[in-house]
Amino acid sequence: MNKNDYKNMWVYIEHDGKTAAPVGLELCCEVRKLCDRTGDRLYAVVIGALPETELEKVKACGVDGFILVSGTGYDFFNTDAWANAFTVLSRKYNPSAIFVGGTVDGRDFAPRFAVQLETGCTSDAMELDWDPETGDIQFIEPAVGGKIMAVITVPVLRPQVGTIRPGTFPYAPVGAKERVEVIEERIDFDPAAIRCHPVGFIPDENDPELDIAHADCIVCVGNGLKDGEHLERYRTLARLLGGKLGCTRPLYDRGILPYKLQIGQSGVMVKPKLYISFGVSGAVNHTAGVDAGLFIAVDKNPNAQIFNYCDYGIVGDMDEVCDELIARLRAGDGKLI
Ligand SMILES: Cc1cc2nc3c(=O)[nH]c(=O)nc-3n(C[C@H](O)[C@H](O)[C@H](O)COP(=O)(O)OP(=O)(O)OC[C@H]3O[C@@H](n4cnc5c(N)ncnc54)[C@H](O)[C@@H]3O)c2cc1C
């Protein structure tokens, strides 16, 4: 395989027929920057119909072109037709890299078409870079329990496939190009060959307390928490601050809080204005998921890693500090600092 035969980068635009999922737009913005360095063109790949207004949003991220796929087999998301579409397209156009949102669907079909193309697929990178010497994309992510940042490349094979978790990159559109190419492809997939069919749809219970990705304030509780009975004070603090509760992975593992509240590399990525952590040691797997305007950390260990990340650190017992903050908020004018 000659790497030079593979050019341009693709971003998959996930959608529900009405709206483009934010992750595709975020990826277009980030991959635009990579393409500006490599000289590649950026194409957005859309499977099935998407309203013009949504395509305009994609254009605003600076794409050079669209690849619009129609045909049979796309009435509902299924990994067979989606993986086939990318395999067929990739064999025809030889892209250098394909980026897919790390959603439930993206994590399903991206590794499958990577296997069909006999290439490499990485998941959950927190940073993307490019090595001009080798021409390889660098997928950078925490590894070995967060002790190191691993740089993963696909050095020999093409295309380089990666799934990236929603919220990893900011949505910062650079504006539409004057000319945007549109390639229309018809790729039929036999519906009889689809191995998974939806048997019903039960919407997720829409508990707004569990939607922390866009919360302005988060009170994050870590493994320092003794047990579930000690949790209520942190809920109270979050309520007083007009914020929401979040947690580290051990709290989910211990069955104290649901997975949707887990913040970090394998959980939710958050960008609050205020983030207060209690009993969180500061593993990079967790902190990589936090982009806070103001970061306050409370931990009893003065040498805890978390104090390297925060703007203000409080060394003390987490329950005592939480109670004190609640008392001050109740006694004062509702301001913490
Ligand atoms: C591939 C991979 C992905 C991962 N993804 C995630 C992820 O998405 N999110 C995530 O959170 N983790 C993730 N992890 C786990 C991560 O590496 C850490 O193990 C985890 O973040 C540690 O959580 P913690 O800080 O709450 O617990 P600990 O590391 O156990 O820290 C507890 C802290 O509480 C303090 N403490 C104890 N008692 C008190 C007290 N009374 N008062 C004050 N402080 C106290 C201690 O000093 C300590 O600093 C991942 C790991 C791997 C390998």
Q: In this predicted model, what pLDDT tens digit does every residue of 98-111 receive, in sequence order?
A: 999 999 999 999 99
Are residues 238 and 188 part of one domain?
no
* Residues 311, 277 contacting (CB under 8 angstroms): no
Q: Is residue 226 part of a domain?
A: yes
Q: What mean pLDDT do residues 180-200 have?
A: 96
Percent of the chain with pLDDT over 70: 99
Residue type, 107: R
Number of structural domains found in the chain: 2
Contact predicate 337/314, CB 8 Å: no
Residues 295/315, Cβ–Cβ less than 8 Å = no
Residue 261 Cα to ligand 1 middle (Å): 14
Q: Which of 134, 164, 193 is the last residue of a domain?
A: 193
Per residue in 236-281, pLDDT (tens digit) is 999 999 999 999 999 999 999 999 999 998 899 999 999 999 999 9
pLDDT score recorded for residue 207: 84
**Contact present, 40 and 8 (Cβ < 8 Å):** yes
Helix (H) or strand (E) holding 162: strand 160-164
201 within a domain of the structure (yes/no): no
| Closest to 165 (Cα-Cα) out of 252, 98, 264, 261 | 264
Q: What is the mean pLDDT of residues 218-223?
A: 98
- Shared domain check, 183 and 120: yes
Same domain for 108 and 141? yes
Average pLDDT over residues 212-220: 95
Per-residue buried b or exposed e for 93-109, using 16+ beta carbons within 10 Å of the residue's own CB: bebbbbbbbbbebbbbb
The residue whose C-alpha atom lies closest to atom 19 belonging to ligand 1 is: 283
Residues 85/189, Cβ–Cβ less than 8 Å: yes
- The 10s digit of each residue's pLDDT in 30-72 is 999 999 999 999 999 999 999 999 999 999 999 999 999 999 9
Evaluate: CB of 94 within 6 angstroms of ligand 1.
Answer: no
pLDDT in tens, 9-30: 999 999 999 999 999 999 999 9
Element (H, E) at 175: none
Atom of ligand 1 nearest to the CA of 251: 26
pLDDT band for position 146 (cuts 50, 70, 90): confident
178/281 same-domain check = no
Indicate the pTM of the whole model.
0.85
Q: Is the CB of 304 under 6 A from ligand 1?
A: yes
Tell me the best of 123, 219, 248, 261 to mutate to test the pocket of ligand 1, counting ligand atoms within 8 Å of each CB and taking the most: 248
Domain boundary among 162, 193, 224: 193
Q: Are strands 217-221 and 244-247 parallel, antiparallel or unpaired?
A: parallel
pLDDT score of 1: 85
Q: Which atom of ligand 1 is nearest to the CA of 264?
A: 8
What band does 144 get if pLDDT is binned at 50, 70 and 90? confident
> In testing the pocket of ligand 1, which one of 247, 256, 265, 303 has its CB within 8 Å of the most ligand atoms?
265
Mean pLDDT of 286-312: 96
> Could you tell me if residue 337 is inside a domain?
no
With cut-offs at 50, 70 and 90, classify the pLDDT of residue 334.
low
238 φ/ψ angles, rounded to the nearest 5 degrees = -60, -45
Between 299 and 336, the more confident residue is 299
- Each residue of 302-332: pLDDT tens digit? 999 999 999 999 999 999 999 999 999 999 8
- By CB atoms closer than 10 A (0-12, 13-18, 19+), residue 87 is middle
CA–CA dist 162, 254 (Å, integer): 31
Q: Is residue 227 part of a domain?
A: yes
Residue 205's pLDDT band, with cuts at 50, 70 and 90, is: confident
Using a 10 angstrom Cβ sphere, with 0-12 exposed, 13-18 middle and 19 or more buried, the burial of residue 331 is exposed
- Residue 333 confidence (pLDDT): 63
174 CA from centroid of ligand 1 (Å): 37
246 and 122 in one domain? Answer: no
Give domain status of residue 202, yes or no.
no
With bands split at pLDDT 50, 70 and 90, how would you rate the model's confidence at 336?
low
| 147 Cβ contact partners less than 8 Å away, ≥ 6 residues apart | 284
Q: Is 277 in the pocket of ligand 1 (CB under 6 A)?
A: no
Domain boundary among the residues 193, 223, 258 is at: 193
- Residue 188 sits in the same domain as residue 322: no
Identify whether the C-beta of residue 95 lies closer than 8 Å to the C-beta of residue 117.
Answer: no
Does residue 64 line the site of ligand 1, with CB under 6 A?
no
- Distance (angstroms) between ligand 1 centre and the Cα of 119 equals 34
Q: Which residue has the tokens 């988060």?
A: 218
Query: pLDDT value at position 116?
Result: 98
Residue nearest to atom 29 of ligand 1 (CA): 281
The residue range of the domain holding 122 is 3-193
Residue 115 burial (CB count, 10 A): 14
- Of the two residues 300 and 141, the one the predictor is more confident about is 300
pLDDT of residue 209: 87
Structure tokens at 32: 């635009």
Indicate if the pLDDT at residue 337 is higher than 60.
no
Question: 247-285: b or e for each residue (b if 16 or more CB lie within 10 Å)?
Answer: bbbbbbeeebbeebbbbbbbbbbbbbebbbbbbbbbbbb
pLDDT band at residue 335, thresholds of 50, 70 and 90? Answer: low
State which of 300, 306, 317, 325 you would mutate to test the pocket of ligand 1, scoring each by most atoms of that ligand within 8 A of its C-beta.
300
Q: Tell whether ligand 1 has an atom less than 6 A from the beta carbon of residue 145.
A: yes
Q: Is the CB of 15 under 6 A from ligand 1?
A: no
